[in-house]
Amino acid sequence: MLHRDEAALAAYVAERPSQAVLVIRGAPDAETAMAALRAAADAVRAIPHPDEPTEPLPNWVEALLSDDGPTLHLDLQDHADRAPRVVAAALAALDASGVPGRLEPLRPPAPPYEYDANADILTDVAFVESLDERGLPPTFPDGFPIPAEAVLVLAQRSRSDTWQHAAWRRSRPFTEYPETLRAFGCDLEPITARDALMRATGMTRDLIRHPAGSGSVSFHHEYGAGDDPHHFYVSVVWRPSP
């Protein structure tokens, strides 16, 4: 029998819908647990998207055998309200498989930065659990300029690509940082397209090109602050050159 607290699992998935990970503890063998989790992933994938019924609800769902054990990874994007249905579907598939043990949320260790949800603007990412001696994600090149008088609030990596992401916060706009990047050797190209997040946060974004890599830099304030923001953010995505 698979033990669990269904309400707690649904609350956990709703709390972090784009980065939820569930783990089976105490299964007799990993192969049995992984087969059950693959069936659970299929059950979640079968839930239709509320706006596009021919598409699956999750952006990404996969059973992976990790250092923490057999895990189910979920990315529901911003559909936190669907967490109870997702958890119920996964549990029904796990119960049908007969896998024993206990299904629990897998919470990451405390990150080496001061996490701020206002900086968490990307999807299909995982947290970087350790930084290098500079206090940066390791793919950032030697000499990469860290914004002055700012606090690192996020470090992430792509699940499907080589880029990594870092974001900083301070109490005034990062108006000098574009010139700092140019002094490092970056070419910046403004992105003119706008989306709802950019409008709600006053975000501007530039493409970055450099001999060591490429990516983007985004400047924004906290979500929904209107004309009176108290916190400002700079967010850098960096993909190293091959």
Measured CA to CA, the distance from residue 218 to residue 147 in angstroms comes to 13
Measured CA to CA, the distance from residue 136 to residue 154 in angstroms comes to: 10
pLDDT band at 226 (very low <50, low <70, confident <90, very high): confident
Instruction: Report pLDDT digits (tens) over 182-219.
Output: 999 999 999 998 888 898 899 999 999 999 999 999 99
CA gap 92, 134 in Å, rounded:
46
Whose CA is closest to 200, among 234, 225, 231, 228?
225
Give 133's DSSP letter.
T
Give the Cα separation of 224 and 175 in Å (integer).
Answer: 20
Element (H, E) at 128: none
The answer to whether the CB of 220 falls within 8 A of the CB of 153 is no
According to the model, what pLDDT value does residue 163 have? 97
In the chain, the amino acid numbered 166 is: A
Give me 121's structure tokens. Answer: 């603007």
pLDDT-derived band of residue 77, with 50, 70 and 90 as boundaries? confident
Structural domains in the chain, sorted by start:
2-105 (3.30.70), 117-240 (3.40.1000)
Average pLDDT, rounded, for the chain: 94
Q: Using an 8 Å Cβ cutoff, are 214 and 204 in contact?
A: no
**137: helix, strand or coil:** coil
Q: Tell me the mean pLDDT in the region 53-66.
A: 93
Q: Is the pLDDT of residue 108 over 80?
A: no
Q: Where would I find the H helices in 4-155? A: 6-15, 30-45, 83-97
**pLDDT surpassing 90 at residue 112:** no
